[in-house]
Structure 1
């Protein structure tokens, strides 16, 4: 297990891709979302909201791991997106990530889709 310090050594553990698709910001985290890498996701989510994109679609298909800190980043983004008239949609969760949402009950507060296409087709 990587026990390195926060900083550039951990940046390779999570990469975040962002693109606009119609009224949605599609945010794709790739790798591990944990307390070392959470800021790498928080910053682009907040930038999307600042840019007026309140409908956030998180493509979780390439997210290998999510701990409670990562979950809190997504919950915080959900609250801010809803306050701006939008929401957060999660798509394509791997079983190991989906399990974290099930155990914590967070799957009940997010709109969860099997695929990215389904998430983009939903209002």
Structure 2
């Protein structure tokens, strides 16, 4: 099963819900294009909900780096939420956990960004 992406925009965030497995480029360009269409500097961050992301390989890591790059060009952060243990371990091994902000829940993200004025 390849990855599925549900991309929505709230008043503060672009929410990217990812499910399945990212093991190839299938669907990634389309997802990045959808994210680009909703990015504005009035938002606070791109929030990637990974609670249903079962697995990713280096292609998946590259996808997250591309989201981060596009977010930062717009002046936003990219945060990861609800990383599954296997995906979290991959981020730790690659040291990408030092670049991304990782949270256990969307409530934690909202609390962090609502403190920033």
Instruction: Give TM-score scaled by structure 2 length.
Output: 0.83
Residue 53 of structure 1 and its aligned partner are, at CA, apart by 5.0
Structure 1 residues not aligned, in runs of 5+: 1-11
Paired residue for 1:31? 20
Mark the runs of 5 or more structure 2 residues left unpaired by the alignment: none
Given candidates 89, 103, 108, the residue that maps to 1:113 is 103
**Pairs aligned (count):** 112
CA RMSD of aligned residues (A): 2.1
Q: Distance in 2 between matches of 1:71 and 1:48?
A: 22
- CA change 1:31–1:40 in 2 (3 A) is farther
Q: Is structure 2 residue 73 aligned with structure 1 residue 83? A: yes
> TM-score, normalised on structure 1?
0.79
Contact 1:48 / 1:54 at 8 angstroms: preserved in 2? no
